[in-house]
């Protein structure tokens, strides 16, 4: 397999006032209640450049079935603005520096730029590949863009919205493991000059240098969705990878642990999910995402058949398995309340977990219906600064919602709903996006 490395260096928006959109705070969904506005910036985010259009905290969601992005005032639970005329297939929106966000138009070989200060479409960035996702480095102002149809990564200088480098293999290909047709996983900067490209076709984690090219290749059991680290300070050269699995080949998803030494990668452990219980069948399993527990030791990883597995990073073993819903994917922790919300992409309910005992707490209905053919719940969720409110979306219903975490012990959970389909009288499918908390971006 050959690699290349080379360098090279309208506006239509529809504004709705809050008063015009107040009807969106309606009663779509079960247990609809209003419990006031969520305050402040999100956890771990410093004061930034907001407010935008008079709104302090915002959610950006792409509409996969159209060419638009919804901008939501999360405090008022109202639609602030619609950014129109993006490229085709705006699957999600990634925040870059405080001034801009990039729309991941996965059906086009380009990105659409949103000016965060005016909330406007300011044009496109042409690419040599379709985009999957980005990873912005605030120290350098550079953003990685991973390929959706080619095993490639572009490097963008965000200040100028210009591609300055491209690495990878300039051929359209398609993987065959669990996790869909995207050719790469999520990109990640290691430092200011080195980064990972996750080749989902050839089942590789690739370590690249901006200056000297490909440094190391780590072969993995199946494709890898993303690489992440423990929040503990002593974990600098240790990384963890979500191995997605392959149902047809009977290969279980797993968590892979590896280290970097002298710019070479070496596997140091693997927790194979199906090994936890003899009754688990890799033919129906598949992992989409994993997240570290706030203790920095335990990893929560969902699997398609409807479980979350809790992995101890030190022993690299599964310590328990929790019943969730079909298509279990992202886990969002709310440390102040010792709970976590699990996104069940192919079910109608979210699952709440007690993160002290690693046990099921309750399910919350959030979607009207579900299917294996589409995602009923969005990839992207957020938590307010005081950790009282959890935000997410019922993708296929076109509904953004807020859950009052302080009501989880009550018979009826407090939920507020913003039904975008009713507001604009059109079908809406909001799959992925990002949040701005008091001027600071927070991606998926």
pLDDT in tens, 67-117: 999 999 999 999 999 999 999 999 999 999 999 999 999 999 999 999 999
In the block, residue with structure tokens 């690495």? 167
Residue 51 pLDDT: 58
The position carrying tokens 């402040």 is 40
Q: Quick one: DSSP state of residue 397?
A: G
Q: Does any domain span residue 265?
A: yes
Ranges of the chain whose pLDDT falls below 70: 1-53, 439, 444
What is the count of structural domains for the chain? Answer: 1
Domain housing 159: 14-443
Length of the chain: 444
Q: In whole angstroms, what is the distance from residue 310 CA to residue 279 CA?
A: 17
| pLDDT number for residue 443 | 78
Sheet holding 213-219, edge to edge: 188-189, 194-199, 204-209, 213-219
Q: For residue 332, report the phi and psi dihedrals to the nearest 5 degrees.
A: -115, 120
**With helix as H, strand as E and coil as C, how does 100-128 read?**
EEEEEECCCCEEEEEECCCCEEEEEEECC
- Confirm whether 3 is domain-assigned: no
pLDDT confidence of residue 440 = 76
Residue 63, Cβ density class (10 Å: 0-12 exposed, 13-18 middle, ≥19 buried):
buried
Please give the helix or strand (H or E) that residue 70 lies within, else none.
Answer: strand 68-73
Please, are residues 150 and 174 in contact by the beta-carbon 8 Å criterion? no
211: left (phi over 0), alpha (psi -120 to 50) or beta: alpha
In a domain, residue 231? The reply is yes
d(CA 227, CA 303): 17
Would you say residue 6 lies in a domain? no
Q: How far is CA 384 from CA 191, 400, 419, in A?
A: 29, 15, 20
Let me know if residue 100 belongs to a domain.
yes
Residue 282 lies in a domain: yes
- Token pair recorded at residue 301: 């990883």
**CB 28, CB 419: distance < 8 Å:** yes
CB-based burial, 134-145: b 16+ in 10 Å, e otherwise: bbbbeeeebbbb
Rounded to two decimals, what is the model's pTM? 0.89
CATH number for the domain harbouring residue 67: 2.130.10.10
Give a yes or no: residue 1 inside a domain: no
Tokens of 278: 């003899």
Q: Is 215 helix (H, G, I), strand (E, B) or coil?
A: strand
The half-sphere exposure of 94 on its side-chain side, counting CA atoms within 13 A, is 21
Which residues, 6+ apart, have CB-to-CB distance to 311 below 8 Å?
255, 271, 290, 298, 299, 301, 317, 318, 319
The answer to whether position 220 is within a domain reads yes
């Amino acid at each position: 397999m050959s690699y290349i490395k080379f360098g090279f260096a309208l506006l239509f928006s529809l504004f709705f006032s809050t008063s015009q959109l107040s009807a969106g705070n309606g009663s779509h969904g079960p247990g609809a209640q209003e419990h006031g506005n969520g305050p402040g910036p999100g956890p771990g985010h410093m004061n930034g450049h907001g407010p935008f259009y008079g709104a302090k905290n915002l959610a950006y969601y792409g509409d996969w079935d159209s060419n638009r992005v919804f901008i939501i005032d999360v405090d008022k639970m109202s639609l602030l603005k619609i950014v129109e005329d993006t490229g085709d297939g705006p699957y999600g929106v990634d925040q870059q520096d405080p001034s801009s966000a990039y729309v991941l138009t996965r059906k086009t070989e380009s990105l659409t730029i949103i000016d965060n200060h005016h909330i406007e479409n300011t044009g496109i960035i042409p690419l040599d590949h379709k985009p999957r996702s980005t990873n912005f480095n605030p120290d350098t102002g550079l953003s990685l863009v991973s390929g959706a149809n080619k095993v490639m990564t572009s490097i963008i200088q965000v200040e100028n919205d210009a591609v300055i480098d491209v690495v990878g293999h300039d051929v359209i290909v398609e993987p065959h493991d669990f996790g869909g047709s995207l050719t790469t996983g999520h990109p990640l900067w290691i430092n200011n000059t080195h980064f990972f490209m996750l080749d989902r076709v050839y089942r590789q984690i690739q370590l690249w240098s901006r200056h000297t090219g490909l440094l190391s290749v780590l072969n993995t059991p199946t494709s890898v969705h993303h690489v992440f680290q423990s929040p503990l300070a002593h974990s600098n050269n240790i990384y963890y990878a979500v191995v997605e699995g392959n149902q047809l080949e009977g290969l279980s998803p797993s968590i892979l642990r590896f280290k970097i030494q002298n710019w070479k990668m070496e596997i140091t452990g693997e927790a194979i999910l199906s090994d936890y219980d003899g009754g688990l069948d890799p033919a129906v399993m598949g992992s989409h995402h994993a997240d570290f527990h706030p203790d920095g030791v335990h990893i929560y990883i969902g699997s398609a058949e409807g479980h979350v597995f809790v992995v101890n990073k030190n022993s690299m073993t599964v310590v328990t398995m929790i019943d969730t819903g079909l298509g279990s994917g992202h886990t969002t922790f709310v440390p102040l309340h010792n709970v976590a919300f699990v996104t069940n992409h192919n079910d109608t309910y979210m699952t709440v977990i007690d993160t002290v005992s690693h046990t099921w707490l309750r399910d919350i209905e959030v979607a009207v219906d579900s299917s294996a053919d589409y995602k009923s719940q969005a990839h992207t969720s957020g938590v307010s600064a005081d950790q009282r409110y959890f935000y997410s979306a019922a993708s296929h219903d076109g509904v953004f919602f807020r859950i009052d975490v302080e009501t989880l012990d009550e018979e009826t959970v407090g939920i507020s709903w913003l039904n975008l389909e009713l507001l604009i009288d059109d079908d809406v499918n909001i799959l992925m996006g990002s949040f701005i908390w008091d001027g600071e971006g927070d991606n998926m």
